[in-house]
Each structure stands twice: as structure tokens, then as C-alpha cells.
A and B are shown apart, each in its own frame.
Chain A
Amino acid sequence: MISQFFILSSKGDPLIYKDFRGDSGGRDVAELFYRKLTGLPGDESPVVMVTSGGRRHHDGHHFIHIRHSGLYLVVTTSENVSPFSLLELLSRLATLLGDYCGSLGEGTISRNVALVYELLDEVLDYGYVQTTSTEMLRNFIQTEAVVSKPFSLFDLSSVGLFGAETQQSKVAPSSAASRPVLSSRSDQSQKNEVFLDVVERLSVLIASNGSLLKVDVQGEIRLKSFLPSGSEMRIGLTEEFCVGKSELRGYGPGIRVDEVSFHSSVNLDEFESHRILRLQPPQGELTVMRYQLSDDLPSPLPFRLFPSVQWDRGSGRLQVYLKLRCDLPSKSQALNVRLHLPLPRGVVSLSQELSSPEQKAELAEGALRWDLPRVQGGSQLSGLFQMDVPGPPGPPSHGLSTSASPLGLGPASLSFELPRHTCSGLQVRFLRLAFRPCGNANPHKWVRHLSHSDAYVIRI
């Protein structure tokens, strides 16, 4: 049960404020939230905070929030509620607002204040959830979204996906997918589009001797549909797709994942036999399937790093040679690759020799940042970095064991995107629509695959 809901910008300005029960103070609660959040000691979690702000009518309430697209979505409640449900509701609200406003962001929210309030009115009644289905809500929502610039198909970029919050925020989401589900009635003809994305997040830990300590893949199949609701579609997955450790399919090694969960609207009649998902998606965004896979990857890891470190304690000279090999198939490539290597304290200078001109390396916040905008599969790149580290004060006495590398060096972490590549090997074979538009062109179908790094750590 929710008392209030508000949206704050990243700077703490209230964009949306709605009180559902009138039992918990006024608007200044939003200000209190931001004050508490910024004043919180580093070791405390901001996810749930109590509202003891000094004034009595606030007390006994809890703030629960998520951060999404640079915004704070916050609810207050006075009950000891289920945190899982509330967080789920908040992320659902974020998706819903994204569906209706086109995309979620400070600009779109402030342009569509009326629409957001209308939505909140329908979703929550006296603090209880009525419905969060994009489809049901369509019947009640009258306001049309204000879109900043007209939509054009030519904006489609190959990597930007609607939902994937990749680490490189400089990749703008493609504007084709970021338009509202309820755009004006006039451009009906353009609306017949479906976006299907397979997005995988990869987290890897490699020991200093090169052995693989941990691989973890979190995958999602996301669908954003602009087709009329109720039009049936069938999604065919790789036939060798197996779930669990024991199942065997086909003759090859199979595409194996540990666990799968489906959205409740997915019909699995044909899943066992042909790996086909059948569903009648509502308009808007929907996570069709989630899966995870650990420890056992069918393909080689996308990157291997071969570091060598020379450390002369006496003169404080540190030389790091990094060789990065990309083990993707030669037709694929990795984009926006960035290597982040924490350095010992007090590093002063950096000189570099890089293997190709479009690379860039610099010191930032006590770490080395090596940017490689584009890495072709099968290629190998290297960088030689020399730094000066003034020694620690006091004589290096007592014959302490000087380790090969100085304190604070490493571990290296890589971030990257792999367009048209899934680490698990899962592919969408086909996307078929039963929908026949009356006298119009066939609907556009966009099927995209993408992997990106969550944490790709290599110990040195």
C-alpha cells in the first residue's frame, strides 16, 4: 500500500508528485528524501530509508526508490510491505511510463506531465495497484504523448536498443523503439512494427594465471510491439536450446542455459517440441523470457588479456604492457571497448605506445583508461604504458617481500558491447506474425542480438 509516489530529477527537482492517501505530510517529503539520500553515509544503503525527518507527521514512513534513466522513482509507505513487490512495481511503472511517453527521461517526463498523472490515476487507486498492463490502460488514457522530434526510420542505429542500459551511455537508444505506444492516430500506417531484442549481460572473472574463475550470463528476450494488441506471433528459438544440465537436444553441443523463466502470457505448447514461443503481446514493452547460464560457455570468451608488469621499487618506475586479444569470430566486432586499470596511489605521469591510431589512453581518477572504439574479431591489440610512482615515505627497510606488482595495481576490468552476438549462442530463428494488416504493407520486424559486459574482470 503506497502513500505517495514521486519522481525526482537527478538533481533532486520534483517532476511528478502524487499523494494517494493524504496520511503522510506534504510535498516537502520529496525534498526530505533527496536530503536524506545525499547525506547518507557511504556504507548505508539508500534503497529503503525511514522518514524520521524531525517533523512528526513524516515519521514511521519508509522511502523505497529505484534509479532509472537518471531519475529517482520513489514511493513512501507506512506499512511493513514486501520490498520485492514494491521494487517490481517501480520498475514496471518505469517501463509503463517509457511505453506511453516514448522513453523515460527528465525531458520526456516534464513534457508529458498530464499524461503521467493520468496514468498514475489509473494504475494506483488509494495506494493499491489496479492494473499495470499497457493494454488495459489504453482504454482509459486520453492524453497523447508529446514527442520532442518527429520519428524517422533512418535514425535506426545498429546497437542502440530500447531497454538495454549499457555502460556506455553515449550510445543513444534508437529513436524508432523509443516512441510512445499511443502516437497520434494519423500515422497508423507506420505503426506496424515489432522489435525483438536478445540482450545478454556477461560477467567474468579471470585469475592472474589466466584461468577462468567465473562466467555468468544473464539473458533476456525483450519485445516491444506496436502492432494492434492480440495479434498472435511466434518466436522460434535455436532448436538446440536446452534447459538444465542434463537435457540433450540435436547432435551438436547444444545451447545450454541453467534456468529459464517466461512471462506469464507466453504459450509454451510448442516449446518442448520445436522451441517456439507463442504469444499475443499487448502493445508496449514486455520481457518474454529471462535465462541465466553460469560456468559453462559454449564459445570462447570474447577477450583475453595478457599483461606484463615491471616494477622498479627503487626508482618508482612502473611499466605495464597489455596485450588484448579478441577471440570473436572474424566477422564480428566489439564496440566501445574500454579497459580500466586501477593504478597505485600517486601516479604522476603516463607515457604510452599504442598499436593503432584510433585508440586512446589517459589517466583518470587514479586509473588508466584505455579506449578502443572498435575491435575486430581475431585481432590483437597492444599498449605499452610507463608511469612514475613516487615511493612511499620512509625507507624501505625490514626486508619486506616486494611483490611483483605494486599495491593498488589492478584488477583490470573491461567494458564493451558485442552487436549481433550472444555469448550463450542463443539466436532467434524467426519471428512470425499472424497479423494481416488491411490493405497495408507487411509489418516491419526488427530482430536484434546484443551482448554487453556487466563486469569483465581480469586479475593482474
Chain B
Amino acid sequence: MPYLGSEDVVKEVKKALCNPHIQADRLRYRNVIQRVIRYMTQGLDVSGVFMEMVKASATVDIVQKKLVYLYMCTYAPLKPDLALLAINTLCKDCSDPNPMVRGLALRSMCSLRMSKLDQWGQAEVLNFLLRYQPRSEEELFDILNLLDSFLKSSSPGVVMGATKLFLILAKKFPHVQTDVLVRVKGPLLAACSSESRELCFVALCHVRQILHSLPGHFSSHYKKFFCSYSEPHYIKLQKVEVLCELVNDENVQQVLEELRGYCTDVSADFAQAAIFAIGGIARTYTDQCVQILTELLGLRQEHITTVVVQTFRDLVWLCPQCTEAVCQALPGCEENIQDSEGKQALIWLLGVHGERIPNAPYVLEDFVENVKSETFPAVKMELLTALLRLFLSRPAECQDVLGRLLYYCIEEEKDMAVRDRGLFYYRLLLVGIDEVKRILCSPKSDPTLGLLEDPAERPVNCWASDFNTLVPVYGKAHWATISKCQGAERCGPELPKTSSFAASGPLIPEENKERVQELPDSGALTLVPNRQLTADYFEKTWLSLKVAHQQVLPWRGEFHPDTLQMALQVVNIQTIAMSRAGSQPWKAYLSAQDDTGCLFLTELLLEPENSEMQISVKQNEARTETLNSFISVLETVIGTIEEIKS
């Protein structure tokens, strides 16, 4: 075959396709088309004959149709305008009597990818896709493969949208989730050092979210989170938090050095945040951090000293092994502490570990000397307790001072709480020293309980639905208060409008219904509808269980049992039995079951003389979290009825 450039080939093929003689001869026509396909496969650009090929699709020859469709799907992205012409033929084929033709046309139409969505459209579609539930694992991975390219988009909105979709779809495949989070690392880090501060902040919030589940995820990139001088305060604070969370054996030295630099920042707030951060890291890397904190005390700055002492207080409680070092660092601190929090922390430390600090009684004595001019009652309370504790271990040095302090607190102090505390200790001392020891030196709470410790690593699934929303930006706690306010706002003023509802009308206003149904989700509780127990079974179960929860709700005035029954029905709580309206006392028995099979049996009791309703709930499996959610659902329903009534 002679060598032909692509232009010559196209010219020749075009001529052949246009030739009416060839068009008339089905076999020859098909051969030419086959040649086009062959060139296409070889990589020659034959998109120039698109027009002619579209014409060739109008044929009864199915083989020819298939070939042409193959050609069209390949070149449609290059010739979107011309591909529009093919749509006509495809539409006509869709109503062809031959099912094979119809199928072929439909399939081809689906694979014509012409209109490209712009980034806003993509982000929107990715958001819609969150609603789709794949039916099989195979389908799931097909979807993930199709969406892969969006993770590489240059638009952060699209990348984050795709990431969220991946996280949600792959909720049963933790390794896929981790994989996606690794791939999104680059874009997130780029956003963290973006010129736009706002974007940077949002990215940092998401980095923190990821770190909650994968603490080591950004450890090797710790330098990206170093603060720079010109950044606004809120970004610096986020970065310090991130640094705190990604610290590990390799980078701890560098991170601490960086944080130490921040401790002497001109902004006192930022300096204190940095010191608290070092305190947080001290739970794992105690010795290094205590050393740095001790050095900071040497600077003799009030705003630094107070925070360091507070950090020490928390630290000796969580990491008792550092007590010795802390005790050695404390002398002299009192000169540089003026605020209430710092004084309390120092006094507490002196009281609890005073036996290891030689001058502890004398420091406390100074505080007692100045107690008249002390403005914070909390400091006085702390002082009382600390001095009494120290009295137990070093009685000779403390007796006189303690006497003076007790006298002052009982005779001269104007704050009632301080006076009461003073009186209490005075009487306690009268009972005897053993009793004082028993009360004051009772076993300390166990640090391993982890109340102050960070919560354990949380699985990705518990925040996947919050990813790429405002929740990480506000912070989960702040978000909870916001949505709570909104909920209250929504049902509060709206109710009067619907107060005159008829029994047949919607029982609970639309928005309330939403809220009631949202509530179970929040506590991971889903009540199963139509789970009607027989009265006998209910009675047997009721008698065999203990009351798991009891509480009273305010209740006034008349009562419409039907209304209540319907309202409960809405949230899938069934009524087993109920007294007639107006009977006294009035009782009702309710049952509900959640999706794990846990039964909730409830008794409502309305005593005639009391203006309250007593609720008793029993549960066949002791599970507090679902119990609480169930009770809040119940409260909401009863509260709503009460409001409608009034």
C-alpha cells in the first residue's frame, strides 16, 4: 500500500463515500466504511468525514449502522456540532420496530459525550449523586472508576465534591476511603497555602477533620502548617491546632521548636494558644515539653507564666511522672501571676504537691496576707482547700496561717460561698484530723479514665457526610448549637398558625415532622414502623423488665388521647392501650422498636391533681444512647402536643 498522509486518505475516503455508485452498492459502501474504521483504529485522524458518516447511518444494514455508531462515538467529542446531526437519526432509530436497532441507538446515544459541564455543573452533579445508592459492589466500583478524573480537577470545589462522594459511596471499604484521602492530600495542601486566606482557612478546617481519623496523614508535611508573620489570627490558631494533632516521633523536635517561637509572639492571645498547644503535646512527649515550658517561666512575663502554670496543673494530673520536674519549676512563679485562673492553678499545685516544694507554705502565706485585697472568690476557695491539704502534710508550718485564713473567711468574708467553705473546713477540723484526711485525700480520679484526653480516633464514616460542608468550618460543637437554634426558631413561632387544625388535617406541621424524624438520626435511632405488639406480649415483657428511665414533663389542662395517639403514630410509636379521655388517673401504654430489634416500652401517667405527666420507659436491651434518643423523641412529641393545645 502506498504511503499516504492522513489528508490524502481523508480526501480519498470522502470521495468514495460521496460516490452515488458506491452508495448504491451495499457491499462496496460497507467496505469503504470498514476502511474508515480501520484508519481510525490505526490512529489516523479521519474525523474529516464525519458528515458523510452521519449520512451513512441512515441505512437498514445493521452491520453498517454499528460501524457508523462506533465511529460517531469516537469522534463526537471533537465535532460536537456535527454530532448534533446524528442525534436525529438516533432518535428515529429509537422508535424502530427492530429491538436490536432500538438498543443500539440507545446505547450509542448514551455514549455520546458532547456537552461538557463546567466546574459549577460538575460540583452540582457530584452533590446530586450523593443520593444514589449503588445496588451492587460491581456497580459501586464502576461509578468510582468513572469519577476518578474529577479528583484531578483544577477546581477545589470539584475535587472536594468528588472526595466526599467517594467517602460516602465507599463507606464499607475503609481502604478505598484512605486511598482517596491520600489522593486529596495534594489539593488540600495546595489550598492550605493558597493566596486566598478564606480558602486556606476552609482547607485547614478540613485537614483537622481528616486528622481526627488518620492522625499521621499529614505528619510529613508539617512544615506546611508553620505560621507566617503576616497571617491573620484565626489562620494561625488553626495551624497551631493542626501542628498539635500531627506531631509524631520524627517531627516532634521541629514542631516544638516552631511552637516555642510562637510563645513569645507580640500577640498575647497567640502566645497563650501556642503554650496550651505545647501542653497538649506534653501528654505524649512529656519531658521535652516540660523543659520548654520551664524555660518560658524564666522570661518572667505575666501572660506567659499564668498559662504555663495552668498547663502544669493539667499535666501533673494526666502525666504524674512529670510532677517532680514541675515542682522544681514552680518557685518564683507567684511574682508573675495576677489573673484568677493562673492563681488558682498555682495554689492548687502548691496544695496538692506542697510536700515537695520547700517554700510552698510561705507562698501560700503571702496569699493569705493579701487575701483582703483579693478580688476573685474562686481564688479564696482554692486557697482554703490548698492550705488545709498542705496542713495535713506540713502541719507545723501551716497551722498558724490556716488559723488566720479560717478566721478571716468566717468572720470577715462577704462572699457566701467562701464563708460556707471556711465554716465547713472549720467544723471538719473539729471532727478530727482523720476525718479531714478521709475527705480531702480521698482517692483522686483516675487519669486513665480519659475524661480530659482526646477522644479516640474516629472512623471516617462519622464525618464523611460533613465533608465539604460548613460543618467542619464552624466546628462540630458550634454547628450543633446553630442547628439547634434554627430548630427552635422554626417550630416556635410557626405553631400558632396551625393551632386550629382539624383532627383530620396534618397533625404535626410539616416542619415539625421533619424535625421529629431528624431526631432519631442524630442519636442513631431509627424506629421501625408498624411493629404492633399484642397486649399480652406487652404485658408479659413490661412486667419482666425494670424501669430504665423515669421523668416528668409539665402538662396542663385538657387532654385529647386521639391527638396524642396520632402524633405518636407519626414517629412510629404504637399505642397498645390507653384510658378513656377524662378518666382519672389517666394512663397509656406505648411500644416501639428500633432497627436493631431493641424494644422500648413506655407508660404515661397523668395524675389528676398534679400538673405533670410521668413517663416510665423500659428497654429490653440496656443501651443508653438509643434510650436517650428515644426519650428525646417522646419529649418532642409530647411537647408539641402541649404547645398546640395551649
Q: Which of A80, A88, A90, A203 contacts B156 (CB 8 A)?
A: A88
**In the bound complex, do residue B300 and residue A62 qualify as a contact, i.e. CB atoms below 8 Å apart?**
no
Q: Which of A42, A214, A292 contacts B269 (CB 8 A)?
A: A42
B234 lies within 8 A of chain A by Cβ: yes
Task: A407 to B193: give the CA distance in the assembly, Å.
Answer: 29
B454 lies within 8 A of chain A by Cβ: no
**In the bound complex, do residue A413 and residue B202 qualify as a contact, i.e. CB atoms below 8 Å apart?**
no
**In the bound complex, do residue B223 and residue A216 qualify as a contact, i.e. CB atoms below 8 Å apart?**
yes
A350 lies within 8 A of chain B by Cβ: no
Asked, given contacts A84-B160, A88-B156, A457-B229, whether A408 binds B202 with beta carbons under 8 Å apart, the answer is: no
Could you tell me the distance in whole angstroms from the C-beta of A185 to the nearest C-beta in chain B?
28
**In the bound complex, do residue A67 and residue B156 qualify as a contact, i.e. CB atoms below 8 Å apart?**
no
Residues from chain A with a CB closer than 8 A to the CB of B159 are 84
Asked, given contacts A91-B196, A400-B300, whether A85 binds B202 with beta carbons under 8 Å apart, the answer is: no
Task: A211 to B507: give the CA distance in the assembly, Å.
Answer: 72
Chain A interface mostly: mixed
A52 lies within 8 A of chain B by Cβ: yes
Task: A90 to B235: give the CA distance in the assembly, Å.
Answer: 19
Task: A195 to B464: give the CA distance in the assembly, Å.
Answer: 43
A38 lies within 8 A of chain B by Cβ: no
B228 lies within 8 A of chain A by Cβ: yes
Residues from chain A with a CB closer than 8 A to the CB of B226 are 205, 214
Question: Can you list, as one digit per residue, whether each of B490-527 has a CB less than 8 Å from chain A (1) or not (0)?
Answer: 10010000000000000000000000000000000000
Task: A184 to B194: give the CA distance in the assembly, Å.
Answer: 35
**In the bound complex, do residue B233 and residue A43 qualify as a contact, i.e. CB atoms below 8 Å apart?**
yes
**In the bound complex, do residue A216 and residue B266 qualify as a contact, i.e. CB atoms below 8 Å apart?**
no
B547 lies within 8 A of chain A by Cβ: no
Count of A-B contacts judged by CB separation below 8 Å: 169
Question: Would you list which residues of chain B between 286 and 309 have a CB under 8 Å from chain A?
Answer: 295, 298-301
Residue of A nearest to B193 (CB): A218
Question: Can you list, as one digit per residue, whether each of B176-216 has a CB less than 8 Å from chain A (1) or not (0)?
Answer: 00000000001000110111111101110000000000000
Residues from chain A with a CB closer than 8 A to the CB of B295 are 401
B34 lies within 8 A of chain A by Cβ: no
Question: Can you list, as one digit per residue, whether each of A192-218 has a CB less than 8 Å from chain B (1) or not (0)?
Answer: 000000000101010100000110101
Task: A410 to B193: give the CA distance in the assembly, Å.
Answer: 23
B470 lies within 8 A of chain A by Cβ: yes
Task: A232 to B161: give the CA distance in the assembly, Å.
Answer: 32
Task: A42 to B473: give the CA distance in the assembly, Å.
Answer: 16
B58 lies within 8 A of chain A by Cβ: no
Task: A81 to B264: give the CA distance in the assembly, Å.
Answer: 39
Question: Can you list, as one digit per residue, whether each of A34-47 has a CB less than 8 Å from chain B (1) or not (0)?
Answer: 00000000111111
Asked, given contacts A48-B473, A52-B485, A83-B473, whether A261 binds B229 with beta carbons under 8 Å apart, the answer is: no
Question: Would you list which residues of chain B between 130 and 158 have a CB under 8 Å from chain A?
Answer: 152-158
Asked, given contacts A47-B202, A82-B468, A457-B229, whether A205 binds B223 with beta carbons under 8 Å apart, the answer is: yes
A26 lies within 8 A of chain B by Cβ: no
List the one stretch of A128-136, A145-153, A270-278, A325-333 in contact with chain B.
Answer: A128-136
**In the bound complex, do residue A407 and residue B301 qualify as a contact, i.e. CB atoms below 8 Å apart?**
yes
Task: A262 to B119: give the CA distance in the assembly, Å.
Answer: 14
B237 lies within 8 A of chain A by Cβ: yes
Residue of A nearest to B187 (CB): A261
Residues from chain B with a CB closer than 8 A to the CB of A207 are 257
Could you tell me the distance in whole angstroms from the C-beta of A257 to the nearest C-beta in chain B?
12
Q: Which of A42, A56, A342, A398 contacts B493 (CB 8 A)?
A: A56
Residues from chain A with a CB closer than 8 A to the CB of B41 are none
Q: Which of B153, B198, B230 contacts A264 (CB 8 A)?
A: B153
Residues from chain A with a CB closer than 8 A to the CB of B158 are 85
A259 lies within 8 A of chain B by Cβ: yes
Question: Can you list, as one digit per residue, whether each of B476-498 has a CB less than 8 Å from chain A (1) or not (0)?
Answer: 00000010011001100100000
Task: A333 to B594: give the CA distance in the assembly, Å.
Answer: 73
B172 lies within 8 A of chain A by Cβ: no
B469 lies within 8 A of chain A by Cβ: yes
Q: Specify which of A42, A82, A213 lies most central, judged by the most chain B CB atoms within 10 Å of its CB.
A: A82
**In the bound complex, do residue A59 and residue B157 qualify as a contact, i.e. CB atoms below 8 Å apart?**
no
A263 lies within 8 A of chain B by Cβ: yes
A382 lies within 8 A of chain B by Cβ: no
**In the bound complex, do residue A165 and residue B195 qualify as a contact, i.e. CB atoms below 8 Å apart?**
yes
Residue of B nearest to A408 (CB): B264
Asked, given contacts A60-B489, A89-B120, A131-B118, whether A290 binds B154 with beta carbons under 8 Å apart, the answer is: yes
A contact residues, range: 35 or more
Question: Can you list, as one digit per residue, whether each of B263-301 has a CB less than 8 Å from chain A (1) or not (0)?
Answer: 010100100010000000000000000000001001111
Could you tell me the distance in whole angstroms from the C-beta of A346 to the nearest C-beta in chain B?
12
Residues from chain A with a CB closer than 8 A to the CB of B202 are 47-48, 83-84, 87
Asked, given contacts A201-B195, A205-B226, A407-B301, whether A262 binds B473 with beta carbons under 8 Å apart, the answer is: no
Task: A413 to B233: give the CA distance in the assembly, Å.
Answer: 17
Task: A24 to B226: give the CA distance in the assembly, Å.
Answer: 39
Task: A249 to B30: give the CA distance in the assembly, Å.
Answer: 48
Task: A59 to B484: give the CA distance in the assembly, Å.
Answer: 12
Task: A66 to B195: give the CA distance in the assembly, Å.
Answer: 11
Task: A263 to B154: give the CA distance in the assembly, Å.
Answer: 6
B contact residues, range: 35 or more
B61 lies within 8 A of chain A by Cβ: no
Question: Can you list, as one digit per residue, whether each of A157-198 has a CB less than 8 Å from chain B (1) or not (0)?
Answer: 000000001010000000000000000000000000000000
**In the bound complex, do residue B118 and residue A455 qualify as a contact, i.e. CB atoms below 8 Å apart?**
no
Question: Can you list, as one digit per residue, whether each of A117-148 has a CB less than 8 Å from chain B (1) or not (0)?
Answer: 00000000000110111000000000000000
Q: Which of B156, B191, B230 contacts A455 (CB 8 A)?
A: B230
**In the bound complex, do residue A56 and residue B233 qualify as a contact, i.e. CB atoms below 8 Å apart?**
no
**In the bound complex, do residue B470 and residue A42 qualify as a contact, i.e. CB atoms below 8 Å apart?**
no
Could you tell me the distance in whole angstroms from the C-beta of A206 to the nearest C-beta in chain B?
12
Question: Would you list which residues of chain B between 236 and 262 have a CB under 8 Å from chain A?
Answer: 237-238, 254, 257, 261
Task: A170 to B179: give the CA distance in the assembly, Å.
Answer: 46
Residues from chain A with a CB closer than 8 A to the CB of B332 are 398, 400
**In the bound complex, do residue B266 and residue A81 qualify as a contact, i.e. CB atoms below 8 Å apart?**
no
**In the bound complex, do residue A83 and residue B195 qualify as a contact, i.e. CB atoms below 8 Å apart?**
no
**In the bound complex, do residue A48 and residue B470 qualify as a contact, i.e. CB atoms below 8 Å apart?**
yes
A340 lies within 8 A of chain B by Cβ: yes
Task: A227 to B544: give the CA distance in the assembly, Å.
Answer: 85
A420 lies within 8 A of chain B by Cβ: no
Residues from chain A with a CB closer than 8 A to the CB of B376 are none
**In the bound complex, do residue A400 and residue B298 qualify as a contact, i.e. CB atoms below 8 Å apart?**
yes
Residue of B nearest to A415 (CB): B230
A459 lies within 8 A of chain B by Cβ: yes
**In the bound complex, do residue A59 and residue B469 qualify as a contact, i.e. CB atoms below 8 Å apart?**
no
Residues from chain B with a CB closer than 8 A to the CB of A205 are 223, 226
**In the bound complex, do residue A133 and residue B157 qualify as a contact, i.e. CB atoms below 8 Å apart?**
no
Residues from chain A with a CB closer than 8 A to the CB of B228 are 203, 413, 454-455, 457
Residues from chain A with a CB closer than 8 A to the CB of B489 are 56, 59-60
A448 lies within 8 A of chain B by Cβ: no
Q: Which of B123, B156, B298, B471 contacts A401 (CB 8 A)?
A: B298
Residues from chain B with a CB closer than 8 A to the CB of A64 are 198
Task: A52 to B193: give the CA distance in the assembly, Å.
Answer: 31
Residues of B within 8 A of A (CB): 118-120, 123-124, 127, 152-161, 186, 190-191, 193-199, 201-203, 223-224, 226, 228-231, 233-235, 237-238, 254, 257, 261, 264, 266, 269, 273, 295, 298-301, 331-332, 335, 468-471, 473-474, 482, 485-486, 489-490, 493
9 inter-chain pairs at a CB distance below 8 angstroms, sorted by A residue, are: A48-B473, A62-B470, A80-B471, A84-B159, A261-B154, A290-B190, A407-B299, A407-B301, A455-B231
Q: List the 7 closest A-B pairs by CB distance, nearest first.
A: A455-B228, A85-B157, A45-B234, A129-B120, A214-B223, A60-B486, A84-B157
Residues of A within 8 A of B (CB): 42-48, 50, 52, 56, 59-60, 62, 64-67, 80-91, 128-129, 131-133, 165, 167, 201, 203, 205, 207, 213-214, 216, 218, 259, 261-264, 290, 292, 294-295, 340, 342, 366-367, 392, 394, 398, 400-401, 403, 407-408, 411, 413, 454-455, 457, 459
Contacts A43-B237, A50-B482, A292-B193 supplied; 13 other A-B pairs, CB < 8 Å: A59-B489, A65-B198, A80-B469, A80-B470, A83-B469, A84-B203, A85-B158, A88-B119, A205-B226, A294-B223, A398-B331, A401-B298, A411-B229
